[in-house]
Structure 1
């Protein structure tokens, strides 16, 4: 009885194993058949037509549908250009695909037609709380998102500071080789800070040019304040207060309706207080994206030599390496050679979030200035904004 039962059990187990093996083999066949069953039924050229994704679904495949080349979810602002209509057969089903290529020519393949909708891609800046694109020659706003809302702007502040430095050098007897007093203890401590430092004041004086480059390229906070005090005529915190008044006066002269300054470098008062540089007023500089763009326009138009330094990836200043955090420059992660980006200024504090002012000038076009404020993805969205402006022929 036991022997018969064991034999019966073995037969059952062997049968189950055979069935499992068969099911396993059968489960592999559809995948292989699926890959092989995509075949071209017909193909015809079409007039080059612009499309963009209809939703975040879908992908770009090779002609045999065996390899995914790109997910449409990662291209929210991309315009795809279709040049061919292809009917593919998969099993007993036929479907129309478009042969497409993005504007930059870096991705091409086949997309099911229902995943696309006709027309150039509208711009969607998901993260930026405020943004603007401006023609630097005409001041024309080419794109805006909450562009007139004043927000904290962090180190983007330094564009106004550097403009006033340029103005003093251009209009007085001062030169780029003039010496700036950097002996104040609060500025030395600021330069040594792991949070607010970067360019250390190892000397009691530096040239205007050295501090200018440190403030622009490295975004040195202590260099910006020292320069502001120099512009105002001294080297102590009282001259910092005077300089801030000059910043606000310049904003008023330019008719900037949404710009108020309380610091020369963009740090909040809560942080400046520990270094002896707080003043009366609000906690942060509050400037709109549009007004930031206008400040940048004045800087690059009146003093275009600023771009010689803003386009540098890094520079050694007084023996210290100053690193430019603009990741749209050549060799950086978000570089796009077609955009010709050569500036301009990054910024970040917890309150302001990531801020970035970008600029570039393609051959045959006016100079473009873009601003994104409080943006979690400032370089990707700036690149998308610039690409959008050019794709729409707005500049």
Structure 2
């Protein structure tokens, strides 16, 4: 779950010198402290028209061309709407600019006409094999890529497991303080695994709350399995198999047509087998579509909204062990963006699943969204790009 980066280094904007002539220049002006001032020669209103960046070069400036407002390369999927043509004079040369702003109106200024091209910006995710952006309020998918293709989802599976834990508590059949049997030798070995561990079972029982936090924040596999057995009413592998049936039943109740669960934790069957928790299923992994994962996440957020409080915890101690949250879109983390207000939700990785991530946040003035990327290589940068696209296009 330790993850890749995106966002390449910037190209220098507005790099060539004006050529002298009577017609408008075909080269961008040089911007430096010693440059002559820019003067507005003419401004002509035009019918609102969409443009997007032509390449990685270029920038948007304030109206007087004295301050850079934004580099175009940092807005790879943004559509800029032009409302006027502006002719600027710099020395003895003239150049044509467009007065533009993005869909939300949060960024505006002028851009040299050669840095943009007509039409709405095409948006895509390069690495994710499947992706969805869901408006939580309307329950509509506002952007998709292969949304109904079922794929291995690794630890995103724990969202269904932890939802069923919350459901049992809500039904009055248990509490946060209920004790969960953690004496199984296989689960204890699993907790100590260098590959699949993360929370050691040093005692023969833990509270539901302790294991819930271990499963959500640290993504503990043995905690998820133990909780599943508790939901199913026992503490042996037979109850693990019963619980997986409950996972599939809940998916059916929600009319999720592209979901098949064989594991409470998201580990594959061949990985679970040495610990005694393979159920002998025909499929080796949980196969769930991005659209179905988005629905599971939405149910969790709507029904048990305090998951957002827990999922936004960056690290904490339980039983003397540090639980680390691998969500790198949280405040203070590498890919954090303040305006997106990300406060969840779940990371996941196995070799067959690749990097998977469910993100959620609510930008001011917009609806909350849930985003899902499956089998990605740059899950945080692509999630951030998807969130920005949804909000900049006013899709939620």
- In the superposition, the TM-score normalised over structure 2's length comes to 0.81
Match of 2:190 in 1: 190
Per the TM alignment, residue 74 of structure 1 is displaced from its structure 2 partner at its CA by: 4.9
Is 1:318–2:316 an aligned residue pair?
no
Per the TM alignment, residue 370 of structure 1 is displaced from its structure 2 partner at its CA by: 1.2
d(CA) in 1 for partners of 2:67, 2:111: 12
Per the TM alignment, residue 80 of structure 1 is displaced from its structure 2 partner at its CA by: 4.6
Match of 2:112 in 1: 112
- Whether the 8 Å CA contact 1:247–1:261 is kept in 2: the answer is yes
Q: Give the number of the structure with larger relative contact order, counting CA–CA contacts within 8 Å between residues 6 or more apart.
A: 2
Equivalent positions of 1:77-226 (< 5 A) are 77-80=77-80, 87=87, 94-98=94-98, 111-118=111-118, 121-226=121-226
Is 1:58–2:57 an aligned residue pair?
yes
Q: Secondary structure at the match of 2:376?
A: coil
Match of 1:340 in 2: 341
d(CA) in 1 for partners of 2:273, 2:41: 70
- After superposition, give the CA deviation of every residue in 1:147-178 in whole Å (9 maximum; x if it has no partner): 00001111000000001100111113311000
Cα distance, 1:47–1:341 mapped onto 2, change above 3 Å: farther
Match of 2:297 in 1: 296
Match of 1:382 in 2: 383
Equivalent positions of 1:258-273 (< 5 A) are 258-273=258-273
Match of 2:361 in 1: 360
Match of 1:20 in 2: none
Q: Secondary structure at the match of 2:249?
A: helix
More deviation, 152-161/49-58: 49-58
Cα distance, 1:209–1:62 mapped onto 2, change above 3 Å: same
- After superposition, give the CA deviation of every residue in 1:291-344 in whole Å (9 maximum; x if it has no partner): 001111111111112111012112222221111111121112222222222111
- After superposition, give the CA deviation of every residue in 1:21-63 in whole Å (9 maximum; x if it has no partner): xxxxxxxxx99x9956776354556779675534334222879
d(CA) in 1 for partners of 2:351, 2:359: 21
RMSD: 3.2
Gapped runs of 5+ residues in structure 2? 1-15, 20-28
Q: Secondary structure at the match of 1:142?
A: strand
Is 1:40–2:32 an aligned residue pair?
no
Gapped runs of 5+ residues in structure 1? 1-29
- After superposition, give the CA deviation of every residue in 1:168-216 in whole Å (9 maximum; x if it has no partner): 1111331100011111121112111221111111111110000001100
Structure (1/2) with the larger helix percentage: 1
d(CA) in 1 for partners of 2:259, 2:130: 14
- Whether the 8 Å CA contact 1:59–1:69 is kept in 2: the answer is no
Cα distance, 1:106–1:348 mapped onto 2, change above 3 Å: farther
- In the superposition, the TM-score normalised over structure 1's length comes to 0.81
Per the TM alignment, residue 120 of structure 1 is displaced from its structure 2 partner at its CA by: 5.2
Cα distance, 1:76–1:239 mapped onto 2, change above 3 Å: same
